[in-house]
Amino acid sequence: MTTDINHLDWSELDNRAVDTVRALAMDAVEKVGSGHPGTAMSLAPAAYLLFNKVMKHDPADPAWPGRDRFVLSCGHSSLTLYIQLYLSGYGLSLDDLKALRTWGSKTPGHPEHGFTEGVETTTGPLGQGFANAVGMAMAARRERGLFDPEAPVGASPFDHTIWVVCSDGDVQEGINHEAAAIAGHQRLGNLVAIWDDNRISIEDDTQIAMSEDVIARYEAYGWDVHRVDWLKTGEYVEDVERLHAVLQAAKAETGRPTLIALRTVIGWPAPKKKNTGKIHGSALGADEVAATKKILGMDPEATFAVDAQVLEHARKVKERGEALRAEWDEGYAAWREANPERAAEYDRMAARELPEGWAAKLPSFPAGKDVATRAASGEVLNAVGPVLPELWGGSADLAESNNTTIKGEQSFIPTEFQTETWKGGPYGRTLHFGVREHAMGAILNGIALHGGTRPYGATFLVFSDYMRPAVRLAALMELPVTFVWTHDSIGLGEDGPTHQPVEHLWALRAIPGLDVVRPADANETAVAWRTILENTGRPAGLALTRQKLPVLDREKYASAEGVAKGGYVLADAAGGTPEVILIATGSEVEIALAARESLEAGGTPTRVVSMPCVEWFAEQEQSYQDQVLPPAVRARVSVEAGIALGWRQFVGDAGESVSLEHYGASADYQTLYKEFGITPDHVAAAARSSLTKAKG
């Protein structure tokens, strides 16, 4: 079996394998009664060509770090991937294909990362996978820069290609525009996208909604663009030789990402439903399936029929994978021998282990000064950056506002695009996403999926709306991505209600698996970062202030170490037994502390609980939660400059919430807090009201 991927050895058995893919796609959707057969049918030659002849992968080891990555951005066509995983020998069985979209199967409706071997990312929401692929390509370049920057192009064990298949729907989504622009600007020569240009979507002919020149758009982004038109002769001819040649040209292009516009006919060769919206997202029906199988020269009555000879032939890709792996192993071993320190660092990062003693680098902030938590976050990044090379990231054009730049580090950018302000090169550390929040979120996910490094990305909290789909997918995939969201309340002041988040904290807390952390001062921020970095299987969002906050006197109040538990007793009642509990987050903690002074002076024993992360608090033993929030103390007040939506679970039926149930306004932040009633006096009044209800 040759490892020369520039040579195409294509036989009649390969043609039969492609037709088998089509038949399996029809049968799987027909059996379950729902799904998307059309794209899997028309992409069958391209997908088979990639997996069987072109991609560097080893079905015996889906996690091989030297592998190419394959991303199916059009996740609705999950069978495009599942059938190749079956044919290639990744562990999916024919029974798994029969169980498509059913309870407990390995073949859910859309591919899910961590659930099915060989699935690199969870896809389905269109455009997300494409942006993930951009992130993977960026991560691969960063990894090469960390561990093998001197190697000639193509000669490093860290050189590999990211392949992404996308649909008409993908190229229409806004996130695709953002991500494609970044990829072109970054000159990601290790990224190849195959656009299935079949011009059919659920609403049938895409002409009803789409008329732009996609090829010209990608050329304008700086991509290398190729057209492979299987209709150019007027007849439909699947010219696999031509596609193979273009794929090889794409691999050879190392200075630009490549788009291959592959003109196909969706559902080929179904006689009545090909090239229609009907075959995009529903079963063909028994008669159409039978008629299509006749055209393919297959038994129309047989279902899930796979000729043993065809399967044996397709599975020879395992031999090819073994040979490629052996070749890579040799180069990798040589690299390790020549670079023992780099190899040790690579092993640590690959295992997502933090270096011994790293936390000692975290800054400690003295009481008596005022520090915005965004500024404290920036100091944390600069303190730990030198010992955590895996930590890298940037901002959606707000670096100076978000405080996300590690001083002295170069920007991650082709050298020709560095500026007077931002010096850099292709292996830099500081990311610049431009004003592209949605792509930023999905690119961060792709970086994390690639493995090894730990990405972060920043914008204003209110603009988390732009990136919410990517944040949700980070949580769904349990990725260690950190979203830094500054300007977290009306405290940003004069910019006004368009920029002042009101509903965002609880909207984000509603995402299962996302840790939303809103620290109260600089030292809470440091512990928050430490806890986030120690959690390797979940994303987190840091909500940070623009305005300065007092650094709390930890000799007077409890240690900020309590942040790691999500909520802790910051200041206890005189005598230790509270009559009322004030629960606050972020910039409102100092307001709760001032209200406590007033209540205590009036004879009401008052406890203040800082609750920077409700998700972490909920994970604690019930005994700890009851210790912090004793069930017997029913008088409680939550204090947060946003909607009160979820605080009822903590304050109970006798509780009160000092919150903001409307939009903000443009003024300095002191005026806004006063005018909107988020003050110590209002908190104290709410506490007295809650006490009355608790006694009633």
- Residues with a known catalytic role: 437
Q: Is 275 helix (H, G, I), strand (E, B) or coil?
A: coil
- Dist CA 342 CA 354 (whole Å): 15
- Dist CA 116 CA 135 (whole Å): 21
Closest CA to 518 of 479, 567, 476, 472: 567
CA dihedral 590, 640, 470, 123 (to 10 degrees): 130
Q: State how far the alpha carbon of 244 is from the alpha carbons of 10, 16, 46, 161, in Å.
A: 10, 18, 9, 15
- Kindly state the helix (H) or strand (E) to which residue 195 belongs, with its residue range: strand 191-197
Contact yes or no for 52/18 (Cβ under 8 A): no
Backbone angles phi, psi at 639, to 5 degrees: -135, 110
Closest CA to 520 of 460, 592, 458: 592
Q: Is 307 helix (H, G, I), strand (E, B) or coil?
A: coil
- Crossing angle between the packed helical segments 464-477 and 437-450, to the nearest 10 degrees: 20
Strands 606-610 and 568-571: antiparallel
Return the structure tokens found at 287.
Answer: 């008669």
Give the angle subtended at the CA of 532 by the CAs of 530 and 535, to the nearest 5°. Answer: 110
- Dist CA 16 CA 115 (whole Å): 29
Contact yes or no for 196/39 (Cβ under 8 A): yes
- Dist CA 142 CA 156 (whole Å): 13
Contact yes or no for 402/431 (Cβ under 8 A): no
Return the structure tokens found at 236.
Answer: 């439909």
DSSP β-bridge partners for residue 581: 607, 636
- Dist CA 191 CA 392 (whole Å): 21
Edge-to-edge strand list for the sheet holding 224-229 = 69-72, 162-166, 191-197, 258-263, 224-229
Give me the amino acid identity at 110.
H
Contact yes or no for 143/449 (Cβ under 8 A): no
Contact yes or no for 554/523 (Cβ under 8 A): yes
- Crossing angle between the packed helical segments 340-350 and 317-338, to the nearest 10 degrees: 130
Residue that is written with structure tokens 């008596």 in the block: 368
Closest CA to 392 of 344, 456, 439: 456
Closest CA to 27 of 307, 270, 303, 311: 303
Closest CA to 585 of 499, 644, 634, 535: 644
Contact yes or no for 665/672 (Cβ under 8 A): yes
Contact yes or no for 198/42 (Cβ under 8 A): yes
Contact yes or no for 82/100 (Cβ under 8 A): yes
Return the structure tokens found at 506.
Answer: 């609880």
Contact yes or no for 373/549 (Cβ under 8 A): yes
Q: Is 164 helix (H, G, I), strand (E, B) or coil?
A: strand
Q: State how far the alpha carbon of 7 is from the alpha carbons of 84, 241, 412, in Å.
A: 21, 10, 35
